[in-house]
Amino acid sequence: MSDAEEARTVCPVCPRHCRLAEGETGFCRARKAEGGRVVCANYGRVTSIALDPIEKKPISFFKPGCNVLSIGSYGCNMRCPFCQNASISQRGGGEVSFQTATPAELADAALRLKKGQGNIGLAYTYNEPLVGWEFVRDCAREVRARGMENILVSNGCAEAGVVEEIAPLIDAANIDLKGPSREFYDWAGGDFSSVCSTIGILHSAGCHVEVTTLVVPGRNDSDADIDSIAAFIASVSPDIPLHVTRFFPRWRMADARPTPVSDVHRLVDVARRRLRNVLAGNC
């Protein structure tokens, strides 16, 4: 190994384990090698903030009818060709506009919206929050200190140690289980086993977990695909809700056709053979 290779620092946050030279940014565009370690370069950088219904996450069985202050930054460790938030998730800090905020400032903002707006806390969403998991952790601590809830919306593609660190602070989560196999995740640029692990860790920690599968025509839309996804979820708990969601053309799949509504409803019926709560989305 050359001296240059030996000088590289390995990022421990996700299965990619990017090997970064000093000053280099990782695949996710949100982590950077500084001073011999890999740091969260998007810490406190907020690109998106909105008060959303919790059902929009989508989370349907945790405090329904409430709102949650939702924040996002930039960066993602996957490259799904169908990404719906590519304008922030597939870009880095020099390519997007952002405002800075401390965890305490965001927690205070969430608390101000509690009365009158029905806000229950803070949701970490829009881009992939776990590429900046330290900021999620610090915000979640401040939110908990104010007696409010933490919501995580994630692709789940993180190392177990990261998930275990934040799991006790997360009250509810929606995790994307995008496909049924390693082969699907090779195409989408992720890691199937780590997503499955994340779902299991969060559930075991007592977090309310829901799962979303976006049905992409020709990629994960067979009965066998959805049955396999439902079987895994049922092995964790048949009570975990699954959202079977309709795809619309986006990003690198802008010329693809939307998922037929009839396919979504057919696949909902398939998943209901194994799971107690299956919902159709975007129909």
Domains of the chain: 43-281 (3.20.20.70)
Q: What does the pLDDT read at residue 4?
A: 53
Give 228's DSSP letter. Answer: H
Q: What does the pLDDT read at residue 5?
A: 58
User: What confidence tier does 7 reach under pLDDT thresholds 50, 70, 90?
Assistant: confident
What's the pLDDT tens digit per position in 95-141? 999 999 999 999 999 999 999 999 999 999 999 999 999 999 999 99
Whether 40 has a pLDDT exceeding 60, the answer reads yes
**Sequence-distant (≥ 6) Cβ neighbours of residue 240 within 8 angstroms:** 199, 203, 209, 210, 211, 233, 234, 275, 277
Q: What does the pLDDT read at residue 243?
A: 98
Give 107's DSSP letter. Answer: H
Side-chain half-sphere exposure of 145, counting CA atoms within 13 A = 12
Q: What does the pLDDT read at residue 275?
A: 98
> pLDDT over 70 for what percent of the chain?
98
Rounded average pLDDT over 24-40 = 97
Nearest to 196 by CA among 223, 225, 158: 158
**N- to C-terminal Cα distance for the chain?**
53
CB atoms within 10 A of CB 182: 12
The tokens of 82 are what? Answer: 């169908």
How high is the mean pLDDT of the chain? 96
The tokens of 72 are what? Answer: 């996002």
Give just the sign of the alpha carbon dihedral 221, 222, 228, 230. positive
Rounded average pLDDT over 213-221 = 97
Q: What does the pLDDT read at residue 6?
A: 61
What's the pLDDT tens digit per position in 139-191? 999 999 999 999 999 999 999 999 999 999 999 999 999 999 999 999 999 99
Whether 3 has a pLDDT exceeding 90, the answer reads no
Side-chain half-sphere exposure of 257, counting CA atoms within 13 A = 7
Could you tell me the pTM of the whole model?
0.96
User: What confidence tier does 1 reach under pLDDT thresholds 50, 70, 90?
Assistant: very low
